[in-house]
Amino acid sequence: MPATNTIDGHTFAINEEGFFTQRDDWNEELAGILAELIGVEMTDAHWKALRFMRDDQATTGVTPTLRRMQTVGGFDVKELYRLFPGKPAKKMSYLAGLPKPIGCV
């Protein structure tokens, strides 16, 4: 039985760190709740980054790194650091319902 998190009627499978293991367990309402938990105030710019992450992961099978967000998604890295301060790549992948990125850059 894999571990799960439950909040406000949403249940999703997680790994030992708490990251999603099933991308289909995610929905935008849940993302909004999780954002509140980790202290991120969602705006359109935040959602744009999360949607790109999910779309990109759907085609490549891996969570995009910050570098890929820049080169493929056209996002400004400085802006991503501002939107998701501290650990941008990890915060974004968490809120997008994806595993944390494995790339080095």
Partner 1 sequence: MRSVPEGFVVPNFGPAPAAAAASGRTRTEVAGGGSSGDTGPRKLALICSKGNLDMAYPGLILGNAAASEGVEVHVFFTFWGLDIVNTKTNGNLKFTMVGNTAMHMNELGRIKPGLEHRSMPQIMGRIPGMTKFATWMMKKQIAELDVPDVPDFLDLMQAAGVHMYACRMTFDMMKLIEADMHPGVEGVISATDFIEISENAQTIFI
User: Does 71 help bind partner 1 (rule: CB under 8 A)?
Assistant: yes
How far is Cα 33 from Cα 29, in angstroms, rounded to an integer?
A: 7
| Cα 33 from Cα 82, distance rounded (Å) | 20
Nearest-angstrom CA–CA distance, 60 and 75: 18
Q: Name the nearest CA neighbour of 38 among 75, 85, 5.
A: 85
Q: What residues between 18 and 57 interact with partner 1 by CB under 8 A?
A: 18-19, 33, 36-39
Q: Looking at 49, 53, 54, 91, which residue binds partner 1 (CB under 8 A)?
A: 91
Task: Tell which positions 50-69 bind partner 1, by CB under 8 A.
Answer: 66-68
Residue with tokens 């990251």: 19
Residue 38 and residue 93 in contact, taking contact as beta carbons nearer than 8 Å: no
1 belongs to the binding site for partner 1 (CB under 8 A): no
CB of 18 to partner 1, least distance (A): 4
Q: Which of 53, 94, 96, 97 binds partner 1 (CB under 8 A)?
A: 94
Residue from the set 30, 88, 96, 98 that interacts with partner 1 by CB under 8 A: 88
Nearest distance from C-beta of residue 67 to partner 1, angstroms: 6
